[in-house]
Structure 1
Amino acid sequence: MKLTEIQIESLYKFTRQHYVEYYDVQVELVDHLANDIEQIWEQQPELSFNDARDKSFKKFGVFGFMNVVESKELQMTKKYFKLVLKFAKEWLSLPKIVLTILLLFGFYQLQQYSFGYQIYLGIFITSTITQFSMLINNTRKLKRRQRQTQKKWLFEHVLNIQGLGNTAIIFIYFFDFPVSSAKEFLAMGDFKRAYSALLITAFLIISYITLVVIPKKAEELLVQTYPEYQIT
């Protein structure tokens, strides 16, 4: 016994009622529920649609769809950071590796001057503020798009909001700036100077990737993930 279009649509409503806001996760869950309901009917054809649906839903446990949503969010967040890593690796090939080496050398030499400390801090602060500014702006854009299409995509959320937010938090908590004053900055030894130059170069490259590269490729990446995204 196959589900009708009305029953399929009611399953979408059912997932939304149980706090599944992302359309792509809804599709996956509705497909799972529909197949399971049809299997339940094969064994118990006397069950009503609602009873078969509830029986299928109980298999998700006391937390319902929550574990599925959290798992998909983790999966998409990992995908985002794999993209960051992929684009970062491109900087290790020609011609970008030349620019990377020049940045490393330039930042290393910059540490001979007291104003170098202000430049380092300025880069960090500017990039972090830009991350949060883009996060706020992208949130507004996504809300407008969602109102127009009536669909919210998980990977779109990760690309435009969650990924930027996570990156900014990582910058704040893990940007281990080697010194706390310009005086200490000038007194660093060779190893610490090299480490500092490597850190600020990596920070700058990752900032460029998250603020420029990925946003430019966002629609392309979304269509690759969701072929139907292009027609929404």
Structure 2
Amino acid sequence: MKLTKIQIEELYKFTRKHYVEYYDVQTELVDHLANDIESICKENPSLSFEEARDISFKKFGVFGFMDVVQSKESQMTKKYFKLILKFMKEWFQLPKIALTFGLLFVFYEIQSLENAYEIYLSVIFGVFIIQLITVLLNRKKQQKKQQITKRRWLFESIIQTQGFGSIGLFAFYTVEFLLPNSSIAFSEMGLFRSVLSVFVITFFIIMSYISIVVIPKKATELLAETYPEFKLS
């Protein structure tokens, strides 16, 4: 039994009904279900399409497609952070390494100012706010595009939102555990903690720039590499 286009579309509806919102994950599941349904019907020709579909679906266990979705999310999140590392490495090569050293020098010099603590906090929260605004704007664009294409891609969603979550956590841990809790304590930091603060805030700015500007700018290219069918959407 070879499934018809109408039955394939029914499988897409079936995955959406079971809370699979990303088109790429839907496609993977539909392909798996279609092959399995054809095998089931070959062994039991008397079964209807719906009966064979339900038998196939039961093989996913109590949580249905949830495990598959979580596995794909984990896979794409790892892919995203590999991209972050890839672009981070570029900042330690010419000519960008010069800018990196420039940032290190600037933030080290800032520490000698009376309001250094406030400047550091302003930079951290300023970057966080910029990231938040960027995420909201990108999400609006993504929603408009989704209304036209009727497709939502997992990796695209991660590109638009993962950086914000990571930067938010980074900012929280930096303020909570690395920086002192007052201007006086900040000015009295030892050499090691002072140098460490310089490196951390520089790393924070570079990582933020990559997630806010670099990766979203290359999003179409990255998505086309990940999903060949993305170009057709």
**TM-score by shorter chain over 0.5:** yes
1:181 matched to 2:182:
yes
* SS of residue matched to 2:218: helix
- Equivalent residue, structure 1, for 2:192: 191
Q: Output the aligned Cα RMSD.
A: 1.3
In the TM superposition, residue 140 of structure 1 has moved relative to its aligned partner by 1.5
TM-score by length of 1: 0.95
- Equivalent residue, structure 2, for 1:171: 170
The 3 A distance-change label for structure 1 pair 165 and 101 is closer
What percentage of residue pairs aligned between the two structures are identical?
A: 55
Alignment of 1:25-64 (within 5 A): 25-64=25-64
Letter in 2 for 1:144: K
The runs of at least 4 aligned residues of structure 1 exceeding 3 Å deviation read none
Q: Greater shift after overlay, 95-104 or 23-32?
A: 95-104
In the TM superposition, residue 29 of structure 1 has moved relative to its aligned partner by 0.2
Q: Distance in 2 between matches of 1:169 and 1:110?
A: 23
Q: Greater shift after overlay, 207-216 or 113-122?
A: 113-122
Alignment of 1:182-221 (within 5 A): 182-221=183-222
In the TM superposition, residue 104 of structure 1 has moved relative to its aligned partner by 1.4
- Equivalent residue, structure 2, for 1:143: 143
Q: Distance in 2 between matches of 1:129 and 1:171?
A: 13
**8 Å Cα contact 2:167/2:208 also seen in 1:** no
Q: Distance in 2 between matches of 1:17 and 1:156?
A: 21
Q: Distance in 2 between matches of 1:231 and 1:41?
A: 32
Unaligned runs of 5+ in 1: none
**8 Å Cα contact 1:128/1:168 also seen in 2:** yes
Q: Distance in 2 between matches of 1:135 and 1:74?
A: 20
- Equivalent residue, structure 2, for 1:108: 108
Letter in 2 for 1:188: M
- Equivalent residue, structure 1, for 2:23: 23
Letter in 1 for 2:168: I
Q: Distance in 2 between matches of 1:219 and 1:166?
A: 21
- Equivalent residue, structure 2, for 1:12: 12
**8 Å Cα contact 2:84/2:207 also seen in 1:** yes
In the TM superposition, residue 118 of structure 1 has moved relative to its aligned partner by 2.1
The 3 A distance-change label for structure 1 pair 172 and 99 is closer
Letter in 1 for 2:84: V
**8 Å Cα contact 2:84/2:211 also seen in 1:** yes
Question: Per-residue CA shift, 1:15-69, capped at 9, x if unaligned?
Answer: 1111111110010000000111111122212211111111000000011111111
Letter in 1 for 2:209: Y
Q: Distance in 2 between matches of 1:83 and 1:117?
A: 32
In the TM superposition, residue 116 of structure 1 has moved relative to its aligned partner by 2.1
Q: Distance in 2 between matches of 1:228 and 1:42?
A: 30
Q: Distance in 2 between matches of 1:165 and 1:111?
A: 27
TM-score by length of 2: 0.94
